[in-house]
Structure 1
Amino acid sequence: MATVWEEVSQVVSFVVMAALELAPWFLLAVVLGVLVQHLNLDVLAKRAFARHGVVAVLTTAAVGALSPFCSFTVIPLISRLLRSGVPLSAVMAFWVASPAMDPEIFALSAAALGIDVATARLVGALLLSVGAGLVVLVLERRGLFAQPLRPSVARAEAAVARPVPVPATAGAPAVADGGSPADAPAASGAACGTGVEAPAAAAACDPGCAAPAEDPWADDDGTPWRTMIARNARLIDWRRFGRDVLRDARGLGGWLLLALVAMALVVRYVPTSLVSSLLGADGVAAIPLAAALGTPLYLNGVAAIPVVQGLLAQGMLPAAGVTFLLAGATTTVPAMVAVRSVVNGRVFAFYLGVAFLGSILVGLLVSPWL
């Protein structure tokens, strides 16, 4: 019988080997995510929200899947967009796609789970977000979801939007005529729920999700996107770029290490027969069960990948893994707290329903190809 130290040694050895295998892909993913931020590609999302109808849903879903936002960093932006009159259909498509997929998550998923599962996750995230947006669009045209914000959030946003004269002092920014405190730089840094929806969203902030230092949609000067990318590439401060890479690597690396430990424990101590019987034998039953497990077990996009990798090694169906990743990203408990802090009960119920049932449907659809 193995001693405790032998067991610990086996787990540590497994974690080290897995970390070395994932390290190049992890660093590539971090660099890619920081590059997206430094090129200021997030401002393209603002243009997507200026569209209407089906085009808006398709565009915002694509932008959400390519943007480095998680459920919590989009909360202040979503609140302002809804209050300013942006249709819920476009907002919902972006909101569902953003935590479910981004370039970093795709790269790590491809490295750890295989290109087939990563592609299925990407396609599933797009289908889920576009489907949610189109359903909301139909309901909007029938007069539903006219006021998606919670009454308290709507009142607070309205109060912030009203001009409030503030004397210019040494420690406080002046508010110009016709402006508002919301226009001040301090208000634009509502990262991870520091706006009117705090403290709920702030308490639920994902530690592994890097928040933008300021509102990324505030500085769109209308420059064509090709010109904007070329200009921003020339202006990159590479010292700051390196610091941001180190910052994100430290933050996400801690979660990845924790997830690798969980993966090692799953592979070593969870019987293969148990995982196969619950999540591998019957796809019709395994996929809904994977969606249910995603709510309590999903931590964040990075940490979930090794956990699913371990379950796949024990016999989990790949389609069930895709469902777990999609359902967990949108229905994890902190994400639900953050969402509920902004929208009313009807929108919240729709969000949960489309995330849970939609992820199951995606799993069933991709099952024949995985």
Structure 2
Amino acid sequence: MTIEAQDAAPRHNPSDWLWYAGISAAAVVWWLVYSQLIPFSESVTSLLPVARDSHTGEAIAFFVYDVPKVLLLLTGIVFVTGVLRSWFSPEKTRAILAGKREILGYPLAAALGVLTPFCSCSSVPLFIGFVSAGIPLGVTFSFLIAGPMVGPVGLGLLYGLVGWQIATIYLVFGFTISTVAGLVLGRLGLERYLQDWVRELNAGPVGDMPEERLTLVGRLKIGVEQVREIVGKVWIWVLVGIGIGAAIHGYVPETVMLRIMGGEAWWSVPAAVVVGVPMYTNAAGVIPIVEALLGKGAALGTTLAFMMSVIALSLPEMIILKQVLTLRLIAIFIAVVSLGILATGFLFNALL
């Protein structure tokens, strides 16, 4: 091998192998802990001075089982999506969407929202970047709806907690709502309802940014940093959501839950949406509640409508979007997305 070839060959820092070994060991520990959650929760509950089959015992067992389960799922999913994000940056997303035919832009934007790990906290900078890049407003809305509502973290948690069937149903309808809502909003010509400073923003060229070359270890470090940042911010809402779910699971009688969120009452779906909008949580916090509601016999359509409203129409996200949207545009946005969510809820309650 020539000197030039030797210089061109990749050189592995000895610390790189420590990263590979550490991540591999962490994956093994993750799986071992996850596989022992049921006996762990039963053991902890048995140590407490409560009957296992009592309301309190049911609630405690649910809480002790779901807290580590959701946190483990969240950690694993955030790590994987963080590594993927190192290949799929917001700038690359903008470059993909810019210049596409508008009719193709809606499903493409919704698909990118499903595939990329952008939550509602990223809505404002992404929205500004998309608008400044000349991407149609309706296409941008498709991405903004799909991102938090049908993102990989929420889907992964939903799959792990309630099964692939419901997760797939949620994916299909979330994608459809994102695409159709973006199409409707795009046809309404709402650009005039953007905040003045956003409309006057001078866009720079898209897609000309040099791509940063990262090693595999560099991408693993990004995944670990994403876990620290995201899990560090949402763990408290996981506890709150699981606490609510445990209370529902242990104390709310099935007859009461069926009366409130059963498919027979026509008002159950809009009531679920109204209740869900002001809740301050995310996919990690709301999915344990969804798990408990379904376990109590709540109708699938009503439960999905509740989950979609919490994630896609949360009050905190609307407050953030107020920085770039006028109140009129926010109201139109809420109305269109709500109609899609209501349609999903009513349809599933009618079919199932």
The two structures share one fold, judged by TM-score above 0.5: yes
Report the CA distance between 1:105 and its aligned residue: 1.0
Query: Which residue identity lines up with residue 34 of structure 1 in the other structure?
Result: G
1:135 is the counterpart of 2:135: no
Aligned twin of 1:338: 320
Give the SS at the match of 1:147: helix
Kept in 1: contact 2:59–2:247 (CA 8 A): yes
Q: How far apart, CA to CA, are the structure 1 residues paired with 2:56 and 2:207? A: 50
* 1:304 CA drift (Å): 0.5
In structure 2, C-alpha distance between the alignment counterparts of 1:241 and 1:92, rounded to whole Å: 27
Name the residue aligned to 1:25: 73
1:264 counterpart = 2:246? yes
Aligned partner of residue 120 in structure 2, secondary structure: coil
Higher helix share: 2
One-letter identity of the residue aligned with 1:97: A
The answer to whether the 8 A contact 1:57-1:133 is kept is: yes
> Following TM superposition, by how much is the alpha carbon of 1:137 offset from its aligned partner in structure 2, in angstroms?
3.1
Amino-acid identity (%): 23
Describe how 1:68-83 pairs up with structure 2 within 5 A: 68-83=117-132
- Other-structure match for 2:139: 90
Q: Which runs of 5+ in 2 are unaligned?
A: 1-47
Gaps of 5+ in 1: 163-178, 184-216
Deviations along 1:57-92, one digit per CA (max 9) or x if unpaired, are 111111112221122312122124324532111111
Q: Which amino acid aligns with 1:132?
A: A
| Alignment-derived partner of residue 318 in structure 1 | 300
Q: What is the root-mean-square deviation in Å for CA atoms of aligned residues?
A: 3.0
Cα distance in 2 for residues equivalent to 1:365 and 1:8? 36
Q: Does 1:145 align with 2:194?
A: no
Whole-angstrom CA distance in 1 between matches of 2:262 and 2:207 = 47
Match of residue 48 from structure 1: 97
Report the CA distance shift for 1:292/1:16 in structure 2 as closer, same or farther (over 3 A): same
Distance 2:186 2:230 in 1: 36
Contact 2:119 2:151 in 1 (8 A): no
Number of aligned residue pairs = 300
Question: CA offset at residue 127 of structure 1?
Answer: 0.8
Q: 1:39 to 1:254 in 2, by over 3 A?
A: farther
Structure 1 position 274, deviation (Å): 1.4
Matched residues in 1 for 2:232 and 2:133: separation?
A: 37
| Whole-Å separation in 2 of the counterparts to 1:330 and 1:242 | 27
Pick closer, same or farther for the CA change 1:219–1:9 going to 2, 3 Å. Answer: farther
Distance 1:80 1:43 in 2: 8
Q: Secondary structure at the match of 1:284?
A: coil
Distance 2:347 2:263 in 1: 17
Report 1:234-245 matches (<5 A).
Answer: 234=216, 236-245=218-227
d(CA) in 2 for partners of 1:364, 1:298: 24
Report the CA distance between 1:334 and its aligned residue: 0.7
Does the 8 Å contact 2:278/2:315 carry over to 1? yes
SS at match of 2:298: coil
Q: Distance in 2 between matches of 1:281 and 1:40?
A: 41
8 A Cα contact 2:74 2:284, kept in partner? no
Name 1:168's counterpart in structure 2.
none
The normalised TM-score by structure 2 is 0.75
Deviations 1:7-43 (A, max 9, x none): 8776444311223444553333122221222233444
Alpha-carbon distance, 1:250 to partner: 3.4
Q: Following the alignment from structure 1 to structure 2, what is the Cα–Cα distance between the partners of residues 233 and 286?
A: 51
* Deviation of 1:303 (Å): 0.2
Q: 1:272 to 1:339 in 2, by over 3 A?
A: same
Aligned counterparts of 2:341 and 2:73: Cα–Cα separation in 1: 26
Residue range with higher mean Cα deviation, 339-348 or 306-315: 339-348
**Which has the larger Rg?**
2
CA 1:148/1:64 → structure 2, altered by over 3 Å: closer, same or farther? farther
AA partner of residue 60 (structure 1) = A
Measure the CA separation in 1 of the matches of 2:231 and 2:309. Answer: 25
Match of 2:83 among 11, 35, 40: 35
The residue type paired with residue 115 of structure 1 is: W
Residues 1-370 of structure 1 mapped to structure 2, 5 A cutoff: 6=50, 11-22=59-70, 24-46=72-94, 47-139=96-188, 144-151=189-196, 153-154=197-198, 158=201, 161=202, 220-221=209-210, 232=214, 234=216, 236-282=218-264, 284-297=266-279, 299-367=281-349
Q: Secondary structure at the match of 1:74?
A: helix
Residue 19 of structure 1 contacts residue 257 of structure 1 at CA under 8 Å; is this kept in 2?
A: yes
Aligned residue type for 1:32: V
The match for 2:3 is: none
Aligned partner letter, 1:147: R
The C-alpha deviation readout for 1:217-257, integer Å capped at 9, x for no partner, is 87744x8xxxx9xx656463534543433443333333222
Contact preservation (8 Å) 1:283, 1:320 = no
Which AA in structure 2 matches 1:344?
A: T
1: distance between equivalents of 2:264 and 2:185? 32
1:94 counterpart letter in structure 2: F
Give 1:35's aligned amino acid: V
